[in-house]
Chains A and B, each alone.
Chain A
Amino acid sequence: MITRRDFIKYSLQGIATISVAGAAIEIINPSKLFASKDEKNVRWGFLVDTQKCVGCGLCVRACKLENEIPYDANVSRTWVERYVLTKDGKVFADSPKAARDGFITNKIEMGHGEYEDIKKENIEKAFFVPKLCNQCENPPCVQVCPVGATYQTKDGVVLVDRKWCIGCGYCIMACPYGVRFFHPSYGTAEKCNFCYHRITKGMKSACVDACPFGARLIGNINDPNDEVGRIIRNERVSVLKDEFGTKPQVYYRGLSKEVR
């Protein structure tokens, strides 16, 4: 018959033994060891030069084809926005079909199938802004996923596991940049992943390769010799919606205050 005193004694001893063994696993964390051996220390970052973008939409087309997003579906992993500011201070913006076919008309899409025709002499300034997933340092989409189907890789890219996503749409709601959507065929959350399958093999993402004007650049911003990292460190760049504290890793040159 075990006494109460013995029971407590043995229990405490047992807990202590398991804790010490458990602590050892924490000290020699295999994944941390593996990570510390990895000298490369990669952090993918993106640079968009809005001054160079002409709104041709080749990036959107390349992305759709590369990542198998149904061509005619009204969703896209990346898109280009057009901003037109008139002399009377009004701001117009649109992105028809995510700018897949570029901006083939001067008319601005207003929704409800209506268009606003702005005369050239009334335009104060106009420019294009490409958008894509910001691969945030502090991604709200990863935070809210109830099953952990969306996650951040070591090199900073946020990915979605199509086999585990339940399709609740919470991540879509949580993203302040509106980059997420449901894949029309798979019914799972979908977003730009910097073409992870390409960049991890030494290639550039499809949109970067497709841009004829060099408006899009991708690189390892931790690498002192990398062009993207160098520009982010040395030049004046900004990010989108930093008030949300998401720490976006897509940097912009020449961003105007009208950009949403």
Chain B
Amino acid sequence: MVHGELWTIKELFVYPNEFIYWSIQIVMYPFMTGLVAGAFVLSSLYHVFGIKELKDMARFALVFSFALLFAAPMPIVLHLQHPFRGVNVFLTPHFTSAIAAFGIVFFSYGAIVASELWFLYRKHFVEIALPLKEKKDKSLFEWIKFIIFCTLTLGVYDISEESLKKDEKAIKILAGVGIPVACFLHGYAGFIFGSVKANALWMTPLMPVIFIMSAIVSGIALCMLTYIVVMEIRKIMIKSQRKPWMPKLEEVKGAEINVIKISAKYLVLFMIFAITLEFLDLVFRGYTAVKHWDILRTVIYGKDFTNIFILQYTFGNLIPFILFLIPGLTIRRAAIGLVLALMGVFMMRWNVVIGGQAFSLTLSGFMEYVIPIIPHDWETFKEGLLGALSIFIMPFALFWVIAKIFPVFGTEKVKQ
């Protein structure tokens, strides 16, 4: 069977070779890179702009951004017809293609996040590695721990007041440089779509900017949500099972409403930017009404109405907007708003990627995407619901592992 035929339903006049070639994984790709970029921007709010209330969140967001970073290229790998040839992008990058920049941007961004993390956690590594170094008869577990942390110090054991000051300066510079790189990482994902002149829905110079704004919304939302969930679960866990190695009950705090309130302010701000740009795009298309407007209108106001106006704009933008703006924000209300905001950004990606293929190049036919839910082979797994879910779960699993090395949970001791 031809790739794409399984999940494409054609209606009216569609060219024979047209199918939904870019399916759920290409929806996941900008969604995941968006989360990476957004999480980094959130962490930079503290490091660069010195918003003190976000100190805890900044540390958390940076580690989470690092976990997300590994998951971000996975949708593309799963989408490729020849995943093992993916390395060709690095071997023979063809620089007129927006995707060719991926390797360079991705690795420079990764390097920035990794360096920033190193400076942030250098003291922590030294504090673990030094006592283990001096300890004589180490158990196997301690040996492994020693090797890991000794390697992570990179041979630098100086944690004097002066050198820690220098670290802070380095973090500030890296976070500052990281913001434009993070925006570029995601802006170019928008460019991949915005520059396709064959596609009437995608082609707009606003696409990269819209992508960046909604990316920041999604990144902040996911960080806040994970922060709330992790802090609350932790509180419950420590309360229920008292173990000697666990922190004392009075040291453990749940999610702090103050942090949530400040982060929510930025979330709403970027949401306003994103919606303004999206509406500008929509109004402009309707007003200029060029050749392809007829079919776009049918898709936007007809076939995709529920996806665009109900799920994306109403549930994904308007309701969270109201929830955050009503005074007296509570953790529970924030959590509901965050889930909806995340869903809204996901729907935005869906409506761009799948919506852009909902109409034919003939401008007189339609294609409908039927997502494979129960997989019956590898293809329907990776291009179906389960493939997308695996990608979404991946960063959380990674975060759980990475957080063992970079502890993000604030007991007062660690923070000091």
Chain A residues proximal to chain B, CB less than 8 Å: 73-76, 79, 91-95, 97-98, 110-112, 131, 140, 142-149, 164-170, 172-182, 184, 187-188, 243-245, 260
- Set of chain B residues within 8 Å of A91, measured between Cβ atoms: 364
Tell which of B1, B5, B21, B97 touches A172, judged by Cβ atoms closer than 8 Å. B21
Bound state CA distance, A146 and B365, in angstroms?
29
- Set of chain B residues within 8 Å of A149, measured between Cβ atoms: 88
B85-117: contact bitstring with A at CB < 8 Å (1 yes, 0 no)?
110110111101111101000000000000000
Bound state CA distance, A94 and B291, in angstroms?
21
Q: Are B93 and A75 in contact (CB under 8 A)?
A: no
Known A-B contacts: A111-B10, A170-B192. Give 14 more (CB < 8 A).
A75-B17, A92-B13, A98-B16, A111-B11, A131-B15, A143-B96, A146-B94, A146-B100, A166-B88, A181-B17, A182-B3, A187-B82, A243-B291, A260-B361
- Set of chain B residues within 8 Å of A175, measured between Cβ atoms: 198
Tell which of A131, A167, A243 touches B82, judged by Cβ atoms closer than 8 Å. A167
Q: Which residue of A lies closest to B290 (CB)?
A: A243
CB within 8 Å: A-B pair count: 148
Q: Are B3 and A178 in contact (CB under 8 A)?
A: no
Looking at the assembled complex, report how far the CB atom of B249 sits from the nearest CB atom of chain A, in whole angstroms. Answer: 52
Bound state CA distance, A22 and B324, in angstroms?
62
Q: Are A260 and B5 in contact (CB under 8 A)?
A: no
Q: Which residue of A lies closest to B76 (CB)?
A: A168
Tell which of B1, B92, B197 touches A184, judged by Cβ atoms closer than 8 Å. B1
Using known A-B contacts A93-B364, A184-B2, A244-B198, determine if residue A168 contacts B79 with beta carbons closer than 8 Å.
yes
Tell which of A98, A110, A168 touches B80, judged by Cβ atoms closer than 8 Å. A168
Using known A-B contacts A112-B11, A164-B85, A176-B198, determine if residue A144 contacts B364 with beta carbons closer than 8 Å.
no
- Set of chain B residues within 8 Å of A131, measured between Cβ atoms: 15
Q: Are A93 and B98 in contact (CB under 8 A)?
A: no
Bound state CA distance, A74 and B97, in angstroms?
29
Bound state CA distance, A43 and B86, in angstroms?
33
- Set of chain A residues within 8 Å of B192, measured between Cβ atoms: 170
- Set of chain A residues within 8 Å of B80, measured between Cβ atoms: 166-168
Q: Which residue of B lies closest to A191 (CB)?
A: B17
Query: Taking chain B's interface residues, is the majority helix, strand, or loop, or is none over half, making it mixed?
Result: loop
Q: Are B81 and A166 in contact (CB under 8 A)?
A: yes
B9-52: contact bitstring with A at CB < 8 Å (1 yes, 0 no)?
11111111111011000000000000000000000000000000
Interchain Cβ contacts under 8 Å between A and B, 17 examples = A79-B15, A79-B16, A95-B15, A95-B16, A112-B10, A147-B93, A165-B82, A166-B80, A166-B86, A173-B21, A173-B198, A176-B197, A176-B198, A178-B361, A181-B19, A188-B81, A244-B197
Confirm or deny: B4 has a beta carbon within 8 angstroms of a beta carbon on chain A: yes
Using known A-B contacts A146-B102, A173-B196, determine if residue A164 contacts B88 with beta carbons closer than 8 Å.
yes
Bound state CA distance, A176 and B17, in angstroms?
12
Using known A-B contacts A93-B364, A173-B196, determine if residue A111 contacts B9 with beta carbons closer than 8 Å.
yes
Confirm or deny: B362 has a beta carbon within 8 angstroms of a beta carbon on chain A: yes
Bound state CA distance, A170 and B80, in angstroms?
10
Confirm or deny: B226 has a beta carbon within 8 angstroms of a beta carbon on chain A: no
- Set of chain B residues within 8 Å of A143, measured between Cβ atoms: 96-97
Bound state CA distance, A32 and B136, in angstroms?
70
Bound state CA distance, A181 and B361, in angstroms?
14
- Set of chain B residues within 8 Å of A243, measured between Cβ atoms: 291
Closest 4 CB pairs of A and B: A167-B81, A178-B15, A146-B99, A176-B198
Q: Which residue of A lies closest to B11 (CB)?
A: A111
Confirm or deny: B363 has a beta carbon within 8 angstroms of a beta carbon on chain A: yes
Bound state CA distance, A79 and B362, in angstroms?
14
Bound state CA distance, A169 and B195, in angstroms?
15
Confirm or deny: B199 has a beta carbon within 8 angstroms of a beta carbon on chain A: yes
Looking at the assembled complex, report how far the CB atom of A243 sits from the nearest CB atom of chain B, in whole angstroms. Answer: 8
- Set of chain B residues within 8 Å of A142, measured between Cβ atoms: 96
Bound state CA distance, A176 and B12, in angstroms?
18
Bound state CA distance, A244 and B198, in angstroms?
7
Tell which of A74, A111, A147, A174 touches B365, judged by Cβ atoms closer than 8 Å. A111
- Set of chain A residues within 8 Å of B291, measured between Cβ atoms: 243
- Set of chain B residues within 8 Å of A184, measured between Cβ atoms: 1-3
Tell which of A111, A144, A176, A182 touches B96, judged by Cβ atoms closer than 8 Å. A144
Looking at the assembled complex, report how far the CB atom of B209 sits from the nearest CB atom of chain A, in whole angstroms. Answer: 21
Looking at the assembled complex, report how far the CB atom of A249 sits from the nearest CB atom of chain B, in whole angstroms. Answer: 17
- Set of chain A residues within 8 Å of B365, measured between Cβ atoms: 111
- Set of chain B residues within 8 Å of A147, measured between Cβ atoms: 85, 88-89, 91-94, 100
Bound state CA distance, A37 and B400, in angstroms?
64
Q: Are A145 and B81 in contact (CB under 8 A)?
A: no
- Set of chain B residues within 8 Å of A165, measured between Cβ atoms: 81-82, 85
Q: Are A169 and B88 in contact (CB under 8 A)?
A: no
Bound state CA distance, A142 and B360, in angstroms?
21
Q: Which residue of A lies closest to B197 (CB)?
A: A244
- Set of chain A residues within 8 Å of B97, measured between Cβ atoms: 143-146, 170
Q: Are A145 and B198 in contact (CB under 8 A)?
A: no
Looking at the assembled complex, report how far the CB atom of B100 sits from the nearest CB atom of chain A, in whole angstroms. Answer: 4
Q: Are B93 and A187 in contact (CB under 8 A)?
A: no
Bound state CA distance, A179 and B88, in angstroms?
24
Using known A-B contacts A145-B94, A167-B81, A187-B3, determine if residue A76 contacts B21 with beta carbons closer than 8 Å.
no
- Set of chain A residues within 8 Å of B366, measured between Cβ atoms: 111
